[in-house]
Amino acid sequence: MNDDYYLVCLSHLRWSFVYQRPQHLLSRCARERRVFFVEEPVFGDGPNHIELTKTDEGVIVAVPHLLLGTPLEEVETQQREMLRGLLASEQIERFVLWYYTPMALPIAEGLSPLAIVYDCMDQLSAFRGAPPALIERERELLDEADVVFTGGHALYEEKKHLHNNIHPFPSSVDVPHFAQARAQQPQPEDQAPISGPRLGFFGVIDERMDLELLAGVAAARPDWQLVILGPVVKISEDELPRLANIHYLGSKSYRELPRYIAGWDAALLPFARNESTKFISPTKTPEYLAAGKPVVSTSIKDVVRPYEQLGLVRIADTVDTFVAACQAALDEPAAARLASADSFLADLSWDKTWQEMQAQLQVALTARRRGEAKRRMPRVRATRRPGDAEQSAAAGGK
């Protein structure tokens, strides 16, 4: 795009947490313009300040530091002042606001962006620990946004009636990065002693994982080794099944993942079927395929369509059927599977996804410049379901 502007992202996720959708997209944006990734505050001894760090990809991560014990009613006020101070000190006058969380809406109150983007990557109100105000603030953000993206087709179907310029952009993949797993790799020290066959998972371990299914599969097949990579958040580690053939190896960097996956015989998506997984579109699905591994998943909508429908992933929801699907995955010939996966992946990349998002953003910027009305629906006051006000869910990675 020829427009000269900065991009300011307001996020509930930490840049250094799990490398996923925001990192993929905004790293590509940073190749063309300055990108500021503003995180939620951290609390400490003071004094209040905003810490700026430039990532290897060129994104400037801004972390507000607030005094521990700051009254709740002052937290948003101080974040708002810090954001204005950041814009002033960095001479940011022409900018696009890019939201990942509606809870940041008051922080940007009164600003005059060239356009507002809401990249709705998850149904945050369905996650454990979400603020009660999130549902109403999302309605407000949908009213303000010039363009809305969703992290998958199921989420698009849920939101499409709330905005008139909304587009589904499901999970994409960096094929060359994960294709490294197809070549023989030296095994990481913590995985090397684990015998095979290895069935693996990487990602956030939280209320979205079906821990009973995981335990049941491990108990049914003690000869299989289940390798689980990722941070444990929003649930207690005491809740994790602790069978001898389940191995929790902790968080791994994005760079390290192909080495681990190279040593697996199959890849798993053992998600629970609950409110928190109803609209997810797991980024790891195409990443597993790019790595050349057979995939077994529970019946998540955005995995069933298109992956299971195209014969790329096996679907099972009970211990017995999941074990049978894993055995079939282990037994299937690799050549046919790889050919099917490569045919599907040939047209999929984060580069292409970002280019298509940029095109939609350009339409919104052009409309603003011409003084045209935003292409959005009139604000909808949806009927509240029982428990909406008390719903809680916080953000997590996929």
Per-domain boundaries in the chain: 6-172+351-390, 175-345
Confidence at residue 33, expressed as pLDDT on a 0 to 100 scale: 97
Token pair, residue 63, equals 């972390």
| Alpha-helical segments (H) within the chain | 21-29, 72-89, 134-144, 153-159, 175-179, 211-220, 257-262, 284-290, 301-303, 319-331, 334-345, 350-369
pTM check: above 0.75: yes
Quick one: tokens of 102? 């509606």
Question: Tokens 């940011």 identify what position?
Answer: 92
- Whether residue 47 contacts residue 17, with contact meaning beta carbons closer than 8 Å, is answered with no
Measured at the alpha carbon of residue 328, what is the angle toward residues 323 and 334, in degrees to the nearest 5?
Answer: 135
Looking at the structure, give the CATH architecture of the domain made up of residues 6-172+351-390. Answer: 3-Layer(aba) Sandwich (3.40)
Across residues 54-70, what is the average pLDDT?
Answer: 96
Distance CA 302, CA 159 (A): 15
Residue 350 has pLDDT above 80, yes or no: yes
Own/partner pairs, 245-250, CB within 8 angstroms, 24+ separation: 245/218, 245/221, 246/214, 246/215, 246/218, 247/191, 247/194, 248/205, 249/190, 249/191
Residue 44 phi, psi (nearest 5) = -155, -155
Q: What are phi and psi of 87, to 5 degrees?
A: -60, -40
Q: How far apart are CA 256 and CA 341, in angstroms?
A: 22
pLDDT at 370: 83
Give the pLDDT confidence score for residue 372 in this predicted structure. Answer: 64
Which superfamily does CATH assign the domain made up of 175-345 to? Glycogen Phosphorylase B; (3.40.50.2000)
pLDDT in tens, 91-117: 999 999 999 999 999 999 999 999 999
Tens digits of residue pLDDT in 10-20: 999 999 999 99
26 has a pLDDT exceeding 90? yes
Q: What integer pLDDT is reported at residue 393 of this predicted model? A: 30
Asked, colleague to colleague, whether 6-172+351-390 and 175-345 share their fold, the answer is yes
Which tens digit of pLDDT belongs to each residue from 246-286? 999 999 999 999 999 999 999 999 999 998 899 999 999 99
CB contact at 8 A, 35 and 57: no
> Is pLDDT at 361 greater than 90 in this prediction?
yes
